[in-house]
Amino acid sequence: MSDLAHLRRDFPLLGRAVHGKPLVYLDSAASSQKPVQVIDAVAEFYATSYANVHRGAYTLSDEATTAYEGARAKAAAMVGAASPTEIVFTSGTTAAINTVAYGWGLDHLRAGDRIVLTVMEHHSNIVPWQLVAGRTGAELAYLRVGADHQVDLTDLEEVIDERTRIVAVSAMSNVTGTMPPVTQLAAAAHAVGAVVVVDAAQAVPHLPVDVATLGADFLAWSGHKMLGPTGIGCLWGRADRLEEMSPLQGGGEMISDVGLYESRWAPVPHKFEAGTPPIAQAVGLGAAIDYLDKVGMDAVRRHETAITGYALDRLATIPDLTVHGPTDLAVRGGAVSFTLGDIHAHDIATILDEENGVAIRAGHHCAKPLMRHLGLTSAARASFYVYTTEDEIDQLVAGLHTARRIFGLS
Amino acid sequence: MPIDDLYRDVILDHYRNPRRRGRLNHDAIHADGQNPSCGDEFGVDVVVGGGIITDIATQGQGCSISQASGSMMADAVVGLTIDEVRDLASSFKRMMSIVEGDNPVDPERPGAVLGDLEALQGVRQFPVRIRCADLAWVALEDAIDQWETAAAVGA
Helical axes A279-295 vs A59-78, angle rounded to 10°? 40
A377 → closest Cβ in B12, B16, B61: B61
- Tell me the H-state helices in A267-376: 279-295, 297-315, 345-356, 368-374
The Cα of B94 is separated from the nearest Cα of chain A by a number of Å equal to: 22
CB count within 10 Å of CB A107 equals 11
Domain residue extents for chain A: 5-30+296-406, 39-293
Confidence of residue B105 (pLDDT cuts 50, 70, 90): confident
At residue A102, does pLDDT exceed 80?
yes
Q: Which of A27-31, A224-228, B89-93 has the lowest mean pLDDT?
A: B89-93
**CA atoms of B125 and B135, how far apart (whole Å):** 17
At residue B89, does pLDDT exceed 70?
yes
B3 → closest Cβ in A344, A362, A406: A406
CB B76, CB A359: distance < 8 Å: no
Tally C-beta pairs within 8 A across A and B: 51
A351 → closest Cβ in B3, B38, B40: B3
Q: Dmax over Cα atoms in chain A, in whole Å?
A: 75
**CA atoms of A148 and A153, how far apart (whole Å):** 12
Confidence of residue B154 (pLDDT cuts 50, 70, 90): confident
> Per residue in A13-45, pLDDT tens?
999 999 999 999 999 999 999 999 999 999 999
Predicted structure pTM score: 0.94
pLDDT score, position B102: 63
Selecting among A53, A282, A288, A366, the annotated active-site residue is A366
Closest CA to A160 of A137, A184, A128, A126: A184
Determine the length of chain A: 410
**CA atoms of A328 and A331, how far apart (whole Å):** 6
CB A164, CB A171: distance < 8 Å: no
Strand order in the sheet with B29-35: B29-35, B40-49, B52-61
Q: Dmax over Cα atoms in chain B, in whole Å?
A: 53
At residue A2, does pLDDT exceed 60?
no
- Contact between B7 and A347 using a beta-carbon 8 Å cutoff: yes
Percentage of chain A surpassing pLDDT 90?
A: 97
pLDDT score, position A118: 98
> Per residue in A127-175, pLDDT tens?
999 999 999 999 999 999 999 999 999 999 999 999 999 999 999 999 9
At residue A55, does pLDDT exceed 80?
no
Measured between beta carbons, the chain A residues lying within 8 angstroms of B40 are 346
- Contact between A378 and B126 using a beta-carbon 8 Å cutoff: no
Bridge-based pairing state of the strands A379-383 and A335-340: antiparallel
Q: Is A117 helix (H, G, I), strand (E, B) or coil?
A: strand
The Cα of B90 is separated from the nearest Cα of chain A by a number of Å equal to: 26
Which architecture characterizes domain A39-293 according to CATH? 3-Layer(aba) Sandwich (3.40)
- Tell me the H-state helices in A33-108: 36-48, 59-78, 93-100, 106-108
Residue of A nearest to B11 (CA): A407
- Contact between B62 and A378 using a beta-carbon 8 Å cutoff: yes
pLDDT score, position B101: 67
CA distances from A238 to A85, A196, A268, A277, A289 (A): 9, 10, 11, 22, 21
What DSSP designation does A378 have? Answer: -
* Cα angle A75, A235, A98; round to 5: 160
Confidence of residue B110 (pLDDT cuts 50, 70, 90): confident
Rg of chain A taking only CA atoms, in angstroms? 22
For the stretch B133-150, what's the b/e string if a residue is b when 16 or more beta carbons lie within 10 angstroms of its beta carbon?
bbbbbbbbbbbbeebeee
pLDDT score, position B109: 81
- Contact between A346 and B63 using a beta-carbon 8 Å cutoff: yes
Residue of B nearest to A361 (CA): B38
Residue of B nearest to A380 (CA): B38
pLDDT score, position A404: 97
CB B46, CB B140: distance < 8 Å: yes
At residue A1, does pLDDT exceed 60?
no
**CA atoms of B29 and B52, how far apart (whole Å):** 13
Measured between beta carbons, the chain A residues lying within 8 angstroms of B2 are 354
Rg of chain B taking only CA atoms, in angstroms? 15
**Residue A366 designated active-site:** yes
At residue A410, does pLDDT exceed 80?
no
What are B's interface residues with A at a Cβ cutoff of 8 A?
1-4, 6-7, 12, 16, 37-40, 61-65, 126, 128-129, 132
Compute CA A20 distance to the chain's CA centroid, rounded to the nearest angstrom.
32
Closest CA to A345 of B37, B95, B20, B31: B37
The Cα of A349 is separated from the nearest Cα of chain B by a number of Å equal to: 11
What are A's interface residues with B at a Cβ cutoff of 8 A?
342-347, 350-351, 354-355, 362-364, 377-378, 402, 406-408
CB count within 10 Å of CB A256 equals 11
Measured between beta carbons, the chain A residues lying within 8 angstroms of B34 are none
> Per residue in A270-321, pLDDT tens?
999 999 999 999 999 999 999 999 999 999 999 999 999 999 999 999 999 9
Residue of B nearest to A399 (CA): B3
Q: Indicate which of A19, A337, A344, A365 best probes the interface with B, i.e. most B CBs within 10 Å of its own CB.
A: A344
**CA atoms of A347 and B79, how far apart (whole Å):** 32
Mean pLDDT for chain A overall: 97
Confidence of residue B108 (pLDDT cuts 50, 70, 90): confident
CB A333, CB A306: distance < 8 Å: no
B64 → closest Cβ in A347, A354, A355: A347
The Cα of A344 is separated from the nearest Cα of chain B by a number of Å equal to: 5
Measured between beta carbons, the chain A residues lying within 8 angstroms of B6 are 350, 354
- Contact between A408 and B39 using a beta-carbon 8 Å cutoff: no
Residue of B nearest to A371 (CA): B39
> Per residue in A323-365, pLDDT tens?
999 999 999 999 999 999 999 999 999 999 999 999 999 999 9
CB A129, CB A112: distance < 8 Å: no
At residue A101, does pLDDT exceed 90?
yes
> Per residue in B114-138, pLDDT tens?
888 999 999 999 988 999 999 999 9
Closest CA to A218 of A386, A134, A366, A104: A104
- Contact between A363 and B38 using a beta-carbon 8 Å cutoff: yes
- Tell me the H-state helices in A137-225: 156-159, 182-191, 211-214
Measured between beta carbons, the chain B residues lying within 8 angstroms of A342 are 16
The Cα of A346 is separated from the nearest Cα of chain B by a number of Å equal to: 6
Mean pLDDT of B58-83: 96
Q: Indicate which of A27, A347, A351 best probes the interface with B, i.e. most B CBs within 10 Å of its own CB.
A: A347
Class for the domain spanning A5-30+296-406 = alpha beta
